[in-house]
Amino acid sequence: MKKTLSLLVLLVLLSVTQILIAQDYTATKIFGKEQLAIREVRRAAVTANIGWNSLTGVGVTYHQYVAKQMGVDLGLGLSLTGFKFGGRFRYLFMEKNFSPFVSGGLMYGLGFGDSELELVSNGNSFHYTIGPSPFGQIGGGIEYLSKGGFLIMANIGYAILLNSGNYEITRGVATPEDLSIMDVMFGSGIVMEFTIGYAFGGK
């Protein structure tokens, strides 16, 4: 089973590599005698963003391409750690429509102040508060930006909680299993993120 899965992943990677190599510059714009890449033509974008340990939780992201293979993302949304905002830098490996990228940035959840929340797990109930939650995020993914401005992006990575703890048990007793659930919900963990929207620019 493991060999079959590994072979499938390898075939997918090879297929994606062939697509990347074969794609044409269909989305460039001739500007005088200069041929501009798609991200030099459509430099700004607004997207909806959703995911686990994502830049916004569930929210809106503004993208600015500072060069044909470099972008900055700024997001605002709502997450398990309260209202959340963040920013990151992305480097795209190709200047064509479809490109893989690597990224790094910072996110900050404001928490819920002194408001108590309740968690019921396996019949056990306890209350807790969520405080300020700073995270670092590293990752990588793929982005497609069409000639018409349609933008779609997916990435995975890891988010690292930058303080010693962002939640506190206020009432009741949490079991070790409960604390493990809390760590998954509010602590460091895997990033899975999906983004879709529109990029603005010249015709």
Instruction: Return the CATH number at 139.
Output: 2.40.160.20
Q: What percent of the chain has pLDDT over 90?
A: 68
pTM > 0.75: yes
Q: What is the pLDDT of residue 165?
A: 87
- Determine the pLDDT at residue 9: 38
d(CA 86, CA 145): 22
Which pLDDT does position 151 carry in this prediction? 97
Q: What is the CA radius of gyration of the chain?
A: 20
Mean pLDDT rounded to a whole number for the chain = 86
User: What mean pLDDT is predicted for residues 15-44?
Assistant: 61
The count of structural domains within the chain is 1
Residue-range definition of the domain harbouring residue 153: 2-200
**Tens digits of per-residue pLDDT, 140-188?**
999 999 999 999 999 999 999 999 889 999 998 888 888 998 999 999 9
